[in-house]
Every structure is written in structure tokens, then in C-alpha cells.
Amino acid sequence: MQPTHAEVARTLAAGHLPATAHIACRPGPQPVRHVTDAQGRVLLLSPRDGALAAALRPAPDTDDTALVLDIPDVPPVAGAPSLGRIWVAGWAALLTGDEARQAALDYADTDPAADLLDVGTTQVIHRMDVAEVRYERNGVLVDVDPDEYAEASPDPLHTMEFDLIADLADHHVDEMAGYVRRRLGPAARPGDEPRVVRLDRYGFLVRIGARLARLSFPRPVADRHDLAHLLHPVLCNRCVQNTPGSSSVR
């Protein structure tokens, strides 16, 4: 099992990675602060008198402004492959009144920034309705259906991926190495030192020398607690049973 293109797009767009905006008929690109709400719509937080708010001011006789958000992945550790990057295109409109207040609450679900309290005074929120999503990885560009993107959910482990990998590297090297070798069987070569370099709800990506191995969980993980429960048989020295799943090497 691996994340779908729509799931990767929702994960990258969630609001935890740096993003830049290319705004129609404006110089740029411009760095932006953003999150996505439950429907995958982009919320942009910026100073009322700032450059972004000025660039997003619609042309006469229009209510919104076309833009493209560019969001590249940032691998959590050295030697980890990138998930790629996404471009999210659509139209952004300034929110006011109750809509702005609700958007501020939605924004806080992902990023409880202190200046959300200033929305309506010194800060503004624009909401971008998504019309097109494109995903690129390793030179391959694919279109993601906007409806599939909206229905997908961000990976629940993405924001803690670095911490989880660091914990495995600091405290569970031997247990993980033994687990990986058992799972790979003959594909594991003598002298190779397995190292977890990526982690998502579906499994691990492990670097073994110049190769990468994908180790899948028996089911998608719901959260950090669920992951700890699933990995307990692997990381507990007194346990002898292996967590079931599948593996592939490339």
C-alpha cells in the first residue's frame, strides 16, 4: 500500500511546508502563509496592508483573483527521497464578517497562529477555491482530479515524521535493522545497515546502501498512538512475533 496522488497532494498542501504564490498579472512569485481546510480549499493569511493582500486585490468588476500555489516537499532527513511538489490553481477571494471568522477557526485547526486574533483588523484571510491540482515527482507530472483531492485526507504522521524517524534512529536501531532484514529475507545483503528515511500512514521507506525498500503496514495508521501500538511487537525486545505486512525493494 502507498499513498495515492490525491493523498500526497493533500499532505503537501496541508500548510506545514513553505509555499509561493504565482498571481495572475502580478510580479512574483510571493511567499505565502497558508493552510487547507477540511475540503482542501486554501486559506491565505496575510497583513491587510501587505504585498500579498495588494496582489490579490481583484480587478474591477470581479470578486476573485487567479493564482497558482507552488508547494515542494522538504524531506525530513538526509538521504530521504522527496515526495515531489504540487501546483494548486484556483481563484482567491477576500473573506469578511462571519466567513472570515469561520476561516480563522479553520486555519487554527492546522496552525493556531497568534495573529489569527487580528483577522478583521490588521490581518486578512483569502480563500482559494481549487480548480486544478498537478503533482510532479521524479520528472513525471500528473493531473490530480480536484474532487479526489478534496475527498482525500492529509497524512496524519507527516507533521511528526522527523521526530518519529529520529526516535527510531536514537533508540531502536537494532530492533528496526533486525525487523527489516527479516521482512526482506534474501533481498537483504550482508553488511547492509537499514535506515528508516520516510514514514507515512501506509508504511516505512528504508534506505539499504544505495537501495530503497518499502515496508507496508497491514493497515493504514490513524495517528501516533496507533503507530506505537502497531510497532510494539517490532520494538519490544521481549516480543518475538513480527508485525505482518508486505515489502518491496527498488
Q: What residue ranges do the domains of the chain occupy?
A: 5-153, 160-249
Q: Which residue has the higher pLDDT, 188 or 61?
A: 61
Taking the mean position of all CA atoms in its chain, how far away is CA 81? 14
- Model-level pTM? 0.90
Among candidate residues 176, 244, 243, 188, the one with its CA nearest the CA of residue 213: 188
What's the half-sphere exposure (Cβ side, CA atoms, 13 Å) at 209? 9
% of the chain surpassing 70 pLDDT? 94
pLDDT at 182: 83
> Are the folds of 5-153 and 160-249 the same?
no
Read off the C-alpha cell for 40.
482542501
Question: Which residue's C-alpha cell is 546502501?
Answer: 209
Give per-residue pLDDT as tens, 161-197: 999 999 999 988 888 888 888 887 777 777 778 889 9
Q: Is residue 3 over pLDDT 50?
A: yes
Q: Across residues 7-34, what is the average pLDDT?
A: 95
Per CATH, the number for 5-153 is 2.30.110.10
In this prediction, residue 242 has a pLDDT band, given cuts at 50, 70 and 90, of: very low
Per CATH, the number for 160-249 is 3.20.180.10
Exposed e or buried b per residue across 27-42, where buried means at least 16 C-beta atoms within 10 angstroms of its C-beta: ebebebbbbbbeebbb
pLDDT at 211: 86
pLDDT at 90: 98
Q: Return the HEC string of 84-149.
A: CEEEEEEEEEECCHHHHHHHHHHHHHHCCCHHHHHECCCEEEEEEEEEEEEEEECCEEEEECHHHH
Cβ atoms of residues 69 and 42 within 8 Å? yes
Question: Which residue's C-alpha cell is 477576500?
Answer: 94
Q: Which residue has the higher pLDDT, 16 or 1?
A: 16
Q: What is the mean pLDDT of the chain?
A: 91
Residues linked to residue 34 through DSSP beta bridges, in sequence order:
44
